[in-house]
Structure 1
Amino acid sequence: MTERALILEMGMGADVHGQDMTKAALRAVSDAIRHSSLTLFGAYKHPSAMRVEVTIAVPLPDQVDKAAVAAALPYGMIEVTVVEGGLHDRGMGGREDITLAIAGVKAFLDTEGHGFTLDGSGSSY
């Protein structure tokens, strides 16, 4: 098996009125995947075969529903890791505080035996 990281996207999401870590995380993942049009995976005919690593950074990691984050991705075998980070802006006070989450989404696929190769520069042909 020759698994290669083919995509890395970053995203940011906010919950502006509820301090909901999962809501902010879901918005960060949505932001990340909306930056990509992944036509490459159509050539493989098996997008569910890709492995996707999601890393979420939020102020309170234990409050993120990892299953909900994984369910937000359309394809692949999803692995979700949540770490401390992001931002919790307490400037507004109470329920008006803003929570920001950052997401990194990486997609890997076994490229062995397919009709193109990846060279060291990252270009494909």
Structure 2
Amino acid sequence: MEAEQSEGSTDSSSSQTMNHLLFVEMGVGYDQHGQNITSAAMRACRDAISSNSIPAFRRGSIPGVSFGQMKLQIKLGVPHSLQQALDIEKVKSVFPYGKILNVEVVDGGLICSSGVLVEEMGDKNEDCYIVNAAVYVGY
């Protein structure tokens, strides 16, 4: 996965590559008030991983693969004009375990109106930010 904006290295050593993709989790996140693209991205990642359990890594269901070998690649669809404001380190903090190989940020998501400006919630305008996430899990 080539990145427009990427964190982490992807060299050819086995610790930095994902040789076996097991599944892809997808999510969407919104920030309706406050206009914070990082909050929207974090919610998208939480949405992607929140309804999944991965016992195979803990229980040894994959012969020769331990929990410590779980690897993640994250791909985020973020409106182009907001990509520079995205805090990738905060987004990474959503993931409780697994080695994050890279975070790829591509043009996507959406800026739309929330229909209301609520100053008490930190709104600067009526914009709602939407981010899409794909989380690739493997070893």
Question: Could you tell me the TM-score, scaled by structure 2's length?
Answer: 0.70
User: Which of 97, 103, 107 is 2:137 aligned to?
Assistant: 107
Q: Percent of pairs identical after alignment?
A: 36
Contact 2:32 2:114 in 1 (8 A): no
Contact 1:26 1:69 in 2 (8 A): yes
Amino acid at match of 1:9: E
4+ residue stretches of structure 1 with deviation over 6 A?
none
Which protein is richer in strand relative to its size? Answer: 1
CA RMSD, 1 decimal: 2.0
1:81 positional shift: 1.2
1:67–1:102 CA distance, 2 compared to 1 (3 A):
same
Give me the whole-angstrom Cα distance separating, in 1, the residues matched to 2:35 and 2:104. 20
Structure 2 residue 106 is the aligned partner of structure 1 residue 83? yes
Structure 2 residue 47 is the aligned partner of structure 1 residue 31? yes
Give me the whole-angstrom Cα distance separating, in 2, the residues matched to 1:21 and 1:91. 14
Equivalent pairs, count: 109
Q: What SS does structure 2 have at the residue aligned with 1:56?
A: strand
1:96 positional shift: 2.6
Question: Could you tell me the TM-score, scaled by structure 1's length?
Answer: 0.77
Q: What SS does structure 1 have at the residue aligned with 2:45?
A: helix
- Which consecutive residues of structure 1, in runs of 5 or more, have no partner in the other structure? 110-125
